[in-house]
Structure 1
Amino acid sequence: MANPAILTVDDDPAVSRSVARDIRRRYGDRYRVVRADSGQAALDALRELKLRGEQVAVMLADYRMPHMNGIQFLESAMDIYPRARRVLLTAYADTEAAIDAINIVDLDHYLLKPWNPPEEKLYPVVDAMLDAWTAAPDETINDIRVIGHRWSAPSYAVRDFLARNLVPYRWLLADDPEGGRLLAAAGLTVDDVPLVLSSDGTALVKPGEAELAAHVGLTTTPAEDFYDLVVVGAGPAGLGAAVYGASEGLRTVLLEQRATGGQAGQSSRIENYLGFPDGVSGAQLTERARRQALRFGAEILTTREVVGLESGGTTRLLRFGDGNAIAAHTVVLATGVSYRMLEAPGLAELTGRGVFYGSAATEAPACAGEEVYVVGGANSAGQAAMHFSRYARRVHILIRAGDLRRSMSQYLIDQIEGTPNITVHPYTSVAGGAGDDHLERLTLCDPRSGEVREVRTSWLFIFIGAEPRTDWLDKSILRDDRGFVLTGSDLLADGRRPPGWSLPRDPYHLESSMPGVFAAGDVRAASVKRVASAVGEGAMAVSLIHRYMETQ
């Protein structure tokens, strides 16, 4: 294994050579010094290191660089090496920008230029950064390779699962020379994809999510049988509950069926979340929250499908789809919502083969130069359109209403109107889709006149409506007619407590019809569908849990 790397990036050749020379003089016997002359070159170097499974300890970036400044570089670099320590090199005049970067990219330190003598101004800073990184180094990442077909729904499912769980991988087409050689070496044919290979030669053929999760090192089995708090769903509300529960001493486990982040985790850019004036990607926000929950001692389990909830005195029992169960004093339901299926002929058969629900960020680079269609008029659709506009020749937003103003935030509307390759099509719905091995054309309809037209495209991303993930609750928890969990005063019909309520008090604000079971975020009836409110409800639920447990 190669020594961990210290990365320096500066567009000024003299400064770049100087900082690399000083770093190499002090640390060259223990660390590799990687030097780049631009933010993009540095990102390319980081990706190459990641693919090789190597570690990066510290990144030092100059603030004033053309095309991509130091803050922008460090923000992007966090997605590749989230645990590497980040230092911004800045002139005295840019100190304010460096201070702002503390919020934007979790900057660890800023260093004023010039740093002579390095023994007094540079080395103490780097020493502190290396000590902090050594205490919690980045994980050694295996070079995971996925071999599959371009228009294979199972291949897409594997890639999407890995991407949403922030597991790096290389994507190889089965009909490319390298992909074909790997299939042949494994004794397989193109009919056996997707194939997942790790650096030690272990091969998984058409793996399910649970098998894939265990293979890449995600935790799937609880360490205990009983907890103070079980959180179901790892979106913003669930992550908020896990962070606050674990930080306040509750034995906490977070259960997620697919990947942390929920719908928010798929967002390419969240720009109205407090504390991030330049926006933050859903993946970055999710990863920070996940690390925070783990640091406080919460367990996070993936690929755990919860299929039932039962009450037994002061114990709440959650049953898994594999027949096992887990028990706790309290439960937070934070299962969020899923996008509603678009009922139009031909779409179901093409799901994962040109038709996608949600942003499907793994597909964005493949959309280069293509015509992309986005269905939906809420913020998630707008954020996806802005993301895809960086790759596609043109992005078409299809909405049934006359404009975006009823359902989308104004900042997104302004961005869309200012993006020349995005076109909004009002009064337009999808009447059907067709294609052989993948989506090739859509039939669009004007719901007012019934007029139809056909367009050619291989890319349809759907963001319509929201359905709560609560069918598994059956009759154990009261829900409204749309399936959202009723809580607090909404349970008091005509001033009467819900049927079967056993306590001599009314339900707390976020408490469901089963005492000790709380709901937070989008799954709760009448909730505000925003990331900040979901995080707040997750935190509030923990406060109410303390009140509940004090009386038991």
Structure 2
Amino acid sequence: MGNPAILTVDDDPSVSRAIARDLRRRYGEHYRILRASSAAEALEALRELKLRGGRMAVMLADYRMPQMNGIEFLEQAMDLFPNARRALLTAYADTDAAIQAINLVDVDHYLLKPWDPPEEKLYPVLDALLDAWQATGDREVEDIRVVGHRWSEPSYQLRDFLARNLVPYRWLAADEPEGRRLLDAAGVGPESIPLVVTADGRALPQPSTTEVAEAAGLSTAPGRDFYDLIIVGGGPAGLGAAVYGASEGLKTLLVERRAVGGQAGQSSRIENYLGFPDGISGAQLTDRARRQAGKFSAEVLTTREVTGLRLDGSARTLTFADGGAVSAHSIVLATGVAYRPLAADGVAALTGSGVYYGSAATEGPACAGSDVYIVGGANSAGQAALFFSRYARRVSLLVRGDSLESSMSYYLIQQLGRTPNIEVRTGCEVIGAHGNGHLEAITICENKGASEATVECGALFIFIGAEPRTDWLGETVARDERGFVYTGPDLLAGGARPKGWDRDRDPFYLECSVPGIFAAGDVRANSVKRVASAVGEGAMAVTLVHRYLEAQ
């Protein structure tokens, strides 16, 4: 098929020539450099490339072009080459407009003009985009096909699993012609949904997440029996520990029960993370972190649920739900937190059928034209409200407290206020969910029970509370009354070391009540619930792991 292509489109001839020149200088040996002077010309070039079976790696589009601006062009170009990486070229004066537009379209980066010197301002960005494209290759979104029903909870869980693990797939409704055709070809009926058809044509009716993970090429089994470091949990803290552990030469394994990225991976746009002035989606941040960990040879397992921890002399052993086990010199607990169930009539029965925990971004297009309600007042709820406002007729953010100021970042509060189809309602609680087979309405209690109202509801997304999943630790590791793990100074209440502590030193700052076991991120008692602090704690934990291992 020849070399893959890099496309640049800019209506300014001098800029177009300059960027094409700089691209050829650096990438001309391995990539075809294509340039166009308008969005229409670029789309025609893309169609011709598609017909000839060519590959598109990166597309660079000027933001301000006549007839069709760069964002509009990239939206159409994505239909032709969905896996190509996308960047926007913009002048300094257009930065704010570009950032707002980027928040509406999944653009990977933006570049300010001029970019001199290219060695500092252009090539590092292009190198990262090309690395990302090479990691995914030219896999079509139809590699894995999923046949299901929108209101089927197993169908939703499967789609959510694939999306959160960044696995390309194509969704087909079971009651549409192509969906029925695949069911017939697999020799099963609608009662067997969800049906997964793999790239090589295998049919998997009602598969487990482990079966789907294996079909998608995700790793589900450890490569060895013993490691220097095992990390439990694949959120920001776990990924931070994996990157630093593996990059510093430790044989590192990360174990994740569902999807790498954790709650942060579900965020539609994180705008206060250092180094990303235009914001970054949780999925993009997760993708970069996972590839970075892989670059340093960290192993990442998915669909493996840890159910126990035991001490075997100097080794620390984790047991899995399937009976397997794996051991290491040290362990970092980075399991984060889960959203607390909403205790309201009808919610449990409709979960996965209109009621969802977390942002459930796969449901965005299905919310078009409907009224969406979001329960919660923290950053994750605000980010979800902004995301669903792109699709829904109206988004209502239901907050139990009297205001958002104590629980949500200022920049998010400002954005919510500027979005016309978002309504923030304080002093509200959902006390009931209603529907026949799927959510149709909810009952809202306002003003501390003074009034109730039942309203139509297309989807309900819940972001309340934070519960650590640490019951599997039993009595092995000290935890507080809510299950958060005590570490470092918190273990020295009254000046005494933890019961059973066998070292002639105090626990390190992130070390648990058992030497060699550390906790990082949201699962740690008294931690700061922010992505940046979780990543920092993951990195710090590895430094303390080294100190622990050196003293062994």
TM-score (norm 2): 0.85
Q: Is the 8 A contact 1:478 1:485 kept in 2?
A: yes
Q: Is the 8 A contact 2:236 2:261 kept in 1?
A: yes
Alignment of 1:496-511 (within 5 A): 496-511=496-511
Partner of 1:141: 139
Partner of 2:451: 451
| 3-state secondary structure, aligned to 1:380 | helix
2:371 paired with 1:378: no
Change (3 A) 1:129 1:450: closer
Partner of 2:513: 513
| Worse-superposed segment, 474-483 or 181-190 | 181-190
Change (3 A) 1:370 1:504: same
| 3-state secondary structure, aligned to 2:423 | strand
Partner of 1:240: 240
Structure 1 residue 441: Cα displacement: 0.7
Q: Is the 8 A contact 1:306 1:318 kept in 2?
A: yes
| 3-state secondary structure, aligned to 2:7 | strand
Alignment of 1:31-430 (within 5 A): 38=39, 56-62=56-62, 64-65=64-65, 69=70, 105=108, 138-141=136-139, 143-430=143-430
Q: d(CA) in 1 for partners of 2:524 and 2:465? A: 15
Q: Is the 8 A contact 2:222 2:299 kept in 1?
A: yes
| Worse-superposed segment, 429-438 or 14-23 | 14-23
Q: d(CA) in 1 for partners of 2:46 and 2:195? A: 27
What amino acid is aligned across from residue 249 of structure 1 in structure 2? G
What amino acid is aligned across from residue 240 of structure 1 in structure 2? G
| 3-state secondary structure, aligned to 1:322 | coil
What amino acid is aligned across from residue 420 of structure 1 in structure 2? P
Q: Is the 8 A contact 1:57 1:130 kept in 2?
A: no
* 1:325-347 Cα distance to aligned partner (Å, 9 max, x none): 00000000000000000011111
Structure 1 residue 489: Cα displacement: 1.1
Q: Is the 8 A contact 1:54 1:141 kept in 2?
A: no
What amino acid is aligned across from residue 386 of structure 1 in structure 2? L
Q: Is the 8 A contact 2:232 2:335 kept in 1?
A: yes
What amino acid is aligned across from residue 139 of structure 1 in structure 2? G
Q: Is the 8 A contact 2:85 2:108 kept in 1?
A: no
Q: Is the 8 A contact 1:57 1:133 kept in 2?
A: no
Q: d(CA) in 1 for partners of 2:278 and 2:62? A: 19
Partner of 2:547: 547
| 3-state secondary structure, aligned to 1:411 | helix
* 1:78-108 Cα distance to aligned partner (Å, 9 max, x none): xx878x677876889999x99xx9xx95789
What amino acid is aligned across from residue 139 of structure 2 in structure 1? I
Q: d(CA) in 2 for partners of 1:130 and 1:182? A: 38
Q: Is the 8 A contact 2:355 2:439 kept in 1?
A: yes
Change (3 A) 1:436 1:132: closer
| 3-state secondary structure, aligned to 2:542 | helix
Structure 1 residue 135: Cα displacement: 12
Structure 1, unpaired ranges of 5+ = 116-120
Change (3 A) 1:430 1:312: same
TM-score (norm 1): 0.85
Q: d(CA) in 1 for partners of 2:502 and 2:281? A: 44
Partner of 2:460: 460
Structure 1 residue 423: Cα displacement: 0.6
Structure 1 residue 199: Cα displacement: 2.9
Partner of 2:7: 8
Structure 1 residue 139: Cα displacement: 3.4
Q: d(CA) in 1 for partners of 2:305 and 2:385? A: 31
What amino acid is aligned across from residue 451 of structure 2 in structure 1? E
Identity %: 57
- Alignment RMSD: 4.0
Structure 1 residue 61: Cα displacement: 3.3
Change (3 A) 1:496 1:171: same
Structure 1 residue 525: Cα displacement: 0.1
| Worse-superposed segment, 272-281 or 52-61 | 52-61
| 3-state secondary structure, aligned to 1:493 | helix
Q: d(CA) in 1 for partners of 2:127 and 2:429? A: 54
Structure 1 residue 511: Cα displacement: 0.2
What amino acid is aligned across from residue 219 of structure 1 in structure 2? S
Q: Is the 8 A contact 2:3 2:30 kept in 1?
A: no
Q: Is the 8 A contact 1:316 1:329 kept in 2?
A: yes
Change (3 A) 1:365 1:105: closer
| 3-state secondary structure, aligned to 1:262 | coil
Q: d(CA) in 2 for partners of 1:538 and 1:88? A: 32
Change (3 A) 1:332 1:444: same
Q: Is the 8 A contact 1:440 1:456 kept in 2?
A: yes
Structure 1 residue 132: Cα displacement: 7.3
| Worse-superposed segment, 365-374 or 2-11 | 2-11
Structure 1 residue 17: Cα displacement: 10
Q: d(CA) in 2 for partners of 1:343 and 1:94? A: 47
Q: d(CA) in 1 for partners of 2:467 and 2:525? A: 11
Structure 1 residue 493: Cα displacement: 2.6
Structure 1 residue 355: Cα displacement: 0.1
Q: d(CA) in 2 for partners of 1:543 and 1:29? A: 39
What amino acid is aligned across from residue 484 of structure 2 in structure 1? F
Structure 2, unpaired ranges of 5+ = none
Q: Is the 8 A contact 2:427 2:446 kept in 1?
A: yes
Q: Is the 8 A contact 2:488 2:508 kept in 1?
A: yes
Structure 1 residue 59: Cα displacement: 3.2
Q: d(CA) in 1 for partners of 2:129 and 2:530? A: 38
Structure 1 residue 18: Cα displacement: 8.3
Structure 1 residue 241: Cα displacement: 0.4
Residues matched between the structures, number: 527
Q: d(CA) in 2 for partners of 1:331 and 1:400? A: 38
What amino acid is aligned across from residue 250 of structure 2 in structure 1? L
Structure 1 residue 34: Cα displacement: 9.8
